[in-house]
């Protein structure tokens, strides 16, 4: 099954960069990437399309214009606690301390090391698989 990943970032080059880095996985239909530029838009998509899209992972920049990535993280953990989240931030950012409080959150520093990001995504996919397998046995 294809893994749907929502990427929340207000940088204009983000879609092109991620599509280039994950071109092999996209071509082989292993993942599908969805891009939004704000926390507001991410929450809107989740609220309206959570069943249709079946999001597996959410990647979000901590520093977003409008609602912050930390606000988004808190909302996600409250309303969608089973969706793994990876926060992307400048190393040393004050927001990192808040993000670290959420133990189930992966944190990647900027500039992004895409090998580490792929490892984090792999861990989150394994978590999803274990979670889903466990819920089938209930």
Q: What is the pLDDT of residue 128?
A: 82
DSSP H helical ranges for the chain: 14-21, 23-27, 39-53, 69-79, 94-100, 114-136
Q: Does residue 52 sit within a domain?
A: yes
CATH code of the domain in which 49 resides: 3.40.50.2300
Range of the domain at 38: 3-133
Q: Does residue 11 sit within a domain?
A: yes
> Given pLDDT bands bounded at 50, 70 and 90, which one contains residue 105?
confident
Average pLDDT over residues 46-50: 81
Please state, rounded to an integer, the average pLDDT across all residues of the chain: 86
- Measured distance CA(55)–CA(7) in Å, rounded: 11
Q: Does residue 138 sit within a domain?
A: no
Q: Does residue 14 sit within a domain?
A: yes
Query: How many domains does the chain divide into?
Result: 1
Q: Is residue 1 over pLDDT 70?
A: no
Q: Is residue 45 over pLDDT 70?
A: yes
Q: How many CB atoms lie within 10 A of CB 137?
A: 5
Average pLDDT over residues 91-110: 70
- Measured distance CA(20)–CA(91) in Å, rounded: 24
Average pLDDT over residues 105-133: 88
Q: What is the pLDDT of residue 100?
A: 64
Average pLDDT over residues 44-64: 84
Q: What is the pLDDT of residue 107?
A: 85
Q: What is the pLDDT of residue 71?
A: 92
Q: Is residue 103 over pLDDT 60?
A: no
């Amino acid at each position: 099954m294809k893994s749907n990943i929502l990427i929340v970032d207000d940088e204009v080059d983000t879609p092109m960069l991620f599509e280039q880095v994950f071109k092999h996985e996209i071509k082989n239909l292993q993942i599908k990437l969805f891009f939004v530029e704000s926390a507001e838009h991410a929450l809107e998509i989740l609220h309206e399309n959570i069943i249709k899209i079946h999001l597996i992972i959410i990647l979000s920049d901590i520093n977003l214009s409008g609602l912050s990535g930390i606000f988004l993280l808190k909302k996600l953990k409250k309303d969608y606690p089973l969706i793994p989240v990876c926060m992307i931030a400048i190393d040393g950012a004050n927001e990192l301390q808040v993000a670290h409080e959420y133990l189930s959150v992966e944190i990647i520093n900027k500039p992004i090391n895409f090998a580490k990001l792929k490892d984090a995504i792999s861990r989150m996919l394994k978590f999803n698989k274990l979670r889903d397998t466990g819920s089938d046995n209930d």
